[in-house]
């Protein structure tokens, strides 16, 4: 499995908007990516969705590797086959865009996709992993910050474990 992380639109929206519930968690992940030099991939599909409401802040864009949607991505998207997910009541365009982002993560050999939305793209990532169609892991902002995703041994930071224990106690 490769390195790097693919940003989903909901992560980018949460990172850019301090009023969002999980903004602080998104900011912690962003700082972690930059400080640890983790490659951050920004699909052009995410750019098109995000820029409907606002431009991407230059400080974010400068730190990303832009992923244009290319031939290999299109073929992989077709292989992932979004039709079984349509039964979940999702709209076809939304599922197709999520599948394109996931396909790009698989093609660029990213290790993770990060999102705030656990209900759709991250659920698709988990289901596609179970079928063996991809080898990409999901990170959900709703689960809080956990640096273990980038540790070779999957070990979390002691301070992060204490923070999580404090949050559970509340």
Q: Which residues contact 6 (CB under 8 A, 6 or more apart)?
A: 41, 43, 67, 101, 104, 105, 108, 110, 112, 113, 114, 136
CB 92 within 8 A of CB 106: no
**pLDDT at res. 114:** 97
The CATH number linked to 14 is: 3.40.50.1010
Q: How far apart are CA 168 and CA 61, in angstroms?
A: 34
Q: How many domains does the chain have?
A: 1
Q: What is the pLDDT along the chain (170 residues), one digit of tens a residue?
A: 468 999 999 999 999 999 999 999 999 999 999 999 999 999 999 999 999 999 999 989 999 999 999 999 999 999 998 777 766 566 677 888 999 999 999 999 999 999 999 888 888 999 999 999 999 999 999 999 998 877 655 555 555 545 555 555 55
To 5 degrees, how large is the angle CA 133–CA 96–CA 62? 90
**pLDDT at res. 3:** 85
The SS3 of residue 76 is helix
**pLDDT at res. 166:** 55
Q: How far apart are CA 8 and CA 125, in angstroms?
A: 12
**pLDDT at res. 120:** 83
**Full domain range(s) for residue 50:** 5-169
Using only C-alpha atoms, the chain has a radius of gyration, in whole angstroms, of 16
């Amino acid at each position: 499995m490769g390195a790097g992380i693919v940003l989903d639109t909901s992560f980018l929206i949460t990172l850019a908007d301090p009023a969002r519930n999980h903004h602080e968690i998104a900011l912690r992940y962003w700082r972690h990516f930059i400080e640890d030099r983790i490659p951050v991939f920004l699909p052009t599909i995410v750019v098109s969705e995000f820029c409907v409401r606002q431009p991407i802040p230059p400080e974010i864009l400068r730190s990303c590797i832009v992923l244009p949607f290319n031939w290999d991505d299109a073929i992989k998207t077709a292989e992932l086959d979004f039709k079984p997910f349509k039964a979940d009541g999702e709209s076809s365009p939304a599922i197709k865009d999520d599948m394109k982002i996931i396909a790009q993560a698989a093609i660029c050999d990213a290790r993770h996709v990060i999102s705030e939305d656990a209900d759709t793209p991250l659920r698709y990532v988990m289901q596609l992993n179970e079928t063996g169609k991809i080898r990409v892991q999901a990170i959900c902002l709703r689960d809080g910050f956990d640096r273990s995703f980038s540790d070779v041994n999957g070990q979390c930071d002691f301070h992060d474990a204490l923070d999580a224990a404090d949050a559970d106690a509340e």
